[in-house]
Structure 1
Amino acid sequence: MKSVPHNSPARTDGIVVWVPDKHLFPPFKLLSVVTYPAGSGDGEMHSHDFFQSVFVLSGQMIFTAPPGDRLVVEAGEMAIIPNGIPHEWATAKRCKALQCATEPMLPGDNGDMAVLFGSLRDRWRKIRMDAAVAGAACDTILAEAGKNTPGSDIIVHARLLEIFALAYRAFRRSAGVQTGSIGTTDYEIYNHAVAFIRKNYRNAISLRDVAATTRLGVSRFSELFKKQCGRSPMKYLADYRLERAAALLAYSEMSVSSVADHLGFDSVHYFSKAFKKHYGHAPSVIREKQNTSSEKKPGG
């Protein structure tokens, strides 16, 4: 069953589909609220080019996939079906679900959500949510999605992120991962290392220092890290320092030498050389642009 974005619900074979006419920010592609009568189903295998998440608000939804796998999703549970996975659905009783289509997510861009919407080793995944908390977030989405008021798109986006953050926490709990622990998947280890780098990037940290926080050997850690983001840990650190430098030069009053010192570079000369290699121009270019922009402001 296909649906077209519209503010009013569409009805097909008793199925009521509401696709809010809202602008969705990446990685979200489509949001819908679907009410299914008992005994409905598509009756044929199909797949999507996106990740499909189905949060059952009431009732029950059943998914099947070859060679006979079956996933029963009750109220308060979320099903996540990766792109390219053949499946069909059915409802034994009346069901209402919040559905969202998302792009596949990369760790470097989407953080923890990449665990759920990156590269799943499972055919699909079912997560038991905190029904009250997730339900409250859904209520806000439904209320804001029906409005044409300033900021409603942003609130819908924020609440979708909240629901998926809750799903990630629930997934970790179900996997037996303790709060504050590193985790066991490659991505969780990578994410732990990234958090350490971002917290300590101004200090003189080495590859061995970062690897030690993950309890892996330097060689294994380096291989895992590069597989996740395409860069070595030290290249990631260097790039992150330079990204922070560009932001400070553009949005602060700090001088080039102050930025270099603040970020832990040994000298202004080394900082300028690294910056030019990364961005193709000297750091002073950003500062000059900022000064020129300030001079053009009224009263400047």
Structure 2
Amino acid sequence: MSHRQYAVTHTDIEKLNARLLSISLSRDERDWQSVFHTHHFTELFFVVSGEGNFLFREKLYHIKTGDLVIIPPYMEHTEQSIPDTPLEYYVIGVDGISFQPAGEQTCVQVFCNVSNKALVEEIFSQMLYEMRNPAYGSDKICQDLLEILILRIIRSQHVIPVPIASTYMTKECARIKEYLDSNYSEPITLDTLTDLTHMNKYYMAHSFAKYTGKSPIQYLNDRRMQAACTLLRDTDHSISAISASVGFSSQSYFTQAFRKKYGMTPIRYRQSQAGDDAANGS
């Protein structure tokens, strides 16, 4: 007979401090509305079958069977199936940890090209089984499986685990973000936000930038630009009407800011989108 024995070597790995909050298995049956939403924890989203798109406010990514998406806390997102290929997917909620790509300073969404899809799916499946059939040690088994999954992600995707304490958005900053997302069309200044949170103006701006990578005013202008792009693409409203509806004080300032961000005027952007639609036959 043949026999080969391997000695176990022990590696000092810093404790992850990741805590499993929830796990679910969902299938898009077209009976729910896909809307942008956020969570205060990290999500691990794994596609079991189907095909669709994963959307953030500024980006859209195609997803398919075997893809794994890491969504950091407080990042607005949603998913949509492609007709006739409904998505089926696991979602895990994880507290205490998020991820940064090597060389980055902030936590961003990570799309993992999983090499061993069957192994990753089996980890999710075992966790769901334990939660559906709780018995002695189920929570411990799930926690250990979570750590195995995270270590495999770290190993294959070259990401760095970050304690949630260094990325966790404070209640005040989360309130500012929610306010800007909902009221971007209104006149908003730093004084507006300090009155909202009762924080020192400069500390508030610094704290918000720490968690989002942008100052409150930069975030507000980006939010307005996103809304403007949607209106330019999907309506025939005039440029002046769009400028006013998304919160800019003048059309000239809106055009200047739009050109600076996108390298073209709003009119040129609308023309380019109409050309793309015509080329795609829509």
TM-score for the superposition, normalised by structure 1: 0.45
Q: Which has the higher contact order (CA 8 A, sep 6+)?
A: 2
Q: Bigger radius of gyration, 1 or 2?
A: 1
TM-score for the superposition, normalised by structure 2: 0.47
